[in-house]
């Protein structure tokens, strides 16, 4: 994470008429160090480390980060997780339904297939979202309880 990234975020908050404050700076710094994080996890992290960050400030800051292309809200399971896309390109996800582990991946063959399907159906793609669900190796190694077998 560079100072340049912080300045780009700071500038976008200003354009959105949100004041750059020490609290917002801590939110942005904590978020930029993560790949996927929930509001609840971000709130817990900030408050565990001695900062008192209001939940509404975290929500507003994350909304602006999403609106300005630094973050993407994704619904994995029961909670919305915020993906730090400021330093990544487009990517897809493998999501473990057992433990919630997320693996990011990029595959040129999948991207080419997306474009072919869109073209064949007269679409111009403006977004993407591929989420594949299953069990990670760690969760598959646990025995299945008899009631679920």
- Identify the CATH number of the domain in which residue 23 sits: 1.10.10.10
pTM: 0.66
Is 118 among the domain residues?
Answer: yes
Confirm whether residue 66 is marked as ligand binding.
no
Q: Is there a single domain that holds both residue 97 and residue 118?
A: yes
Q: Is there a single domain that holds both residue 50 and residue 102?
A: no
Q: Is there a single domain that holds both residue 47 and residue 67?
A: yes
Q: What are phi and psi of 85, to 5 degrees?
A: -105, 5
Would you state the pLDDT for residue 143?
A: 67
Confirm whether residue 90 is marked as ligand binding.
no
30-44 pLDDT, tens per residue?
A: 888 877 888 999 999
20-71 pLDDT, tens per residue?
A: 888 888 888 888 887 788 899 999 988 886 778 889 999 988 988 888 888 8
Tally of domains within the chain: 2
Q: Is there a single domain that holds both residue 68 and residue 96?
A: no
Would you state the pLDDT for residue 64?
A: 85
Could you tell me whether strands 71-76 and 79-84 are parallel, antiparallel, or unpaired per DSSP bridges?
Answer: antiparallel
For 118, the domain range is 92-140
Answer whether 139's CB lies under 8 Å from 98's CB: yes
Would you state the pLDDT for residue 42?
A: 92
């Amino acid at each position: 994470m560079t100072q340049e990234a912080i300045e780009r975020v700071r500038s976008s908050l200003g354009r959105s008429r949100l004041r750059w404050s020490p609290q917002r700076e801590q939110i942005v710094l904590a978020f930029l160090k993560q790949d996927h994080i929930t509001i609840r996890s971000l709130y817990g992290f900030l408050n565990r480390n001695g900062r008192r960050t209001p939940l509404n400030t975290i929500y507003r800051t994350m909304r602006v980060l999403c609106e300005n292309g630094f973050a993407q809200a994704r619904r994995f399971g029961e909670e919305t997780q915020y993906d730090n896309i400021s330093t990544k390109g487009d990517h897809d996800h493998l999501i473990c339904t057992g433990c919630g582990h997320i693996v990011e991946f990029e595959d040129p063959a999948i991207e080419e297939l997306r474009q072919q399907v869109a073209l064949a159906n007269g679409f111009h793609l403006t977004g993407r979202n591929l989420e594949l669900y299953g069990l990670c190796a760690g969760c598959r190694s646990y025995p299945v309880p008899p009631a679920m077998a």
